[in-house]
A = this chain, B = another copy of it.
Amino acid sequence: MAPLTCATRHATCALPAGSEAGLEVACASCGLDPLCNVLDYAGEQSGVPDGLLLRRRPVARGETLFHYGDPFHSVFAVKQGSVKTYIPRPDRAAQLVGFHLPGELIGAGAMAGESYPYTARALENSRVCEIRLGLLPESGRPLQQIQRAVIELLGREVAFNNELIAALVHQSAEQRVAGFLISLSERLQRRGMPCAEFNLSMSRSDIGNYLGLASETVSRILTRFSKADLIDVRHKRVQLRHPETLAGIAE
């Protein structure tokens, strides 16, 4: 078997201009990297099924990675573009769970259970890496490292969610939107992507749904920030002019 390489260790390749969104995250900055490295190692020890790693798979805007309730098989990482996750609800609007930027994981919450607790859908033409954890053998030494990595990932997820809860529950609409922009910017920065100016690939309703606000409120606050010269919004393009002030608003 050919030695496996990390799912995301590849330079950007040429693609039809305009068909894909933004830059690609470097492997070293990707949240999947620890797992990728472990699997590299596992590969050389053999015992890891082939086809375990699917790298830089293109996903068209609107396409889904998996649906709510599907049996768990893979953890995904966004390589390029963006993905939203949501819980479809009968006779109600879907509940938005999260937005996933380059370098971020999708489906981590399902690793412990049998099925995905939400649907994942691409917000734009994107690329994702996929690790088919479902194919992993249940024994052998590498498993320990894999488990360790999974624990690490889940722990981060828990911490992030705890912060999010604290934030969402107690903040005003203005604070939430400011915090949302700052969060996006910081997450892009962490992955080495341009973070002062970026795309709001999700709709205002998606943002509102995520933050627990009406889309009109989101819109109003964005223009308010814009008039205060804190940001510059044009269509889906946002530029942060005074991130410090925004961060101050978000507290």
Residues of A within 8 A of B (CB): 87, 95, 97, 108-113, 117-118, 143-144, 147-148, 150-152, 154-159, 161-162, 164-166, 168-170, 210-212
Taking CB atoms, residues of chain B closer than 8 Å to A150 are 151
Select A113's contact among B144, B155, B164, B165, beta carbons within 8 Å: B155
Taking CB atoms, residues of chain B closer than 8 Å to A112 are 151-152, 154-156, 158-159
Q: How many copies does the complex hold?
A: 2
Taking CB atoms, residues of chain B closer than 8 Å to A155 are 109-113, 154
Taking CB atoms, residues of chain B closer than 8 Å to A166 are 87, 95, 97
- Is there contact, CB below 8 Å, between A212 and B169? yes
Chain B min CB distance to A28 (Å):
21
Q: Is the interface of A mostly helix, strand, loop or mixed?
A: helix
Complex CA–CA separation, A113 to B152 (angstroms) = 8
Taking CB atoms, residues of chain B closer than 8 Å to A118 are 162
Can you name 6 A-B residue pairings with CB atoms under 8 Å?
Answer: A111-B155, A112-B158, A112-B159, A147-B151, A151-B151, A165-B168
Given A162-B97, A165-B165: A151 in contact with B111 (beta carbons within 8 A): yes
Select A165's contact among B97, B144, B159, B170, beta carbons within 8 Å: B97
Complex CA–CA separation, A95 to B155 (angstroms) = 20
Taking CB atoms, residues of chain B closer than 8 Å to A143 are 144
CB-based closest 9 A-B pairs: A112-B155, A169-B212, A154-B154, A147-B147, A161-B161, A109-B158, A95-B166, A157-B158, A112-B151
- Is there contact, CB below 8 Å, between B212 and A170? yes
Given A95-B170, A143-B144, A144-B147: A154 in contact with B158 (beta carbons within 8 A): yes
Chain B min CB distance to A154 (Å):
4
Taking CB atoms, residues of chain B closer than 8 Å to A210 are 169
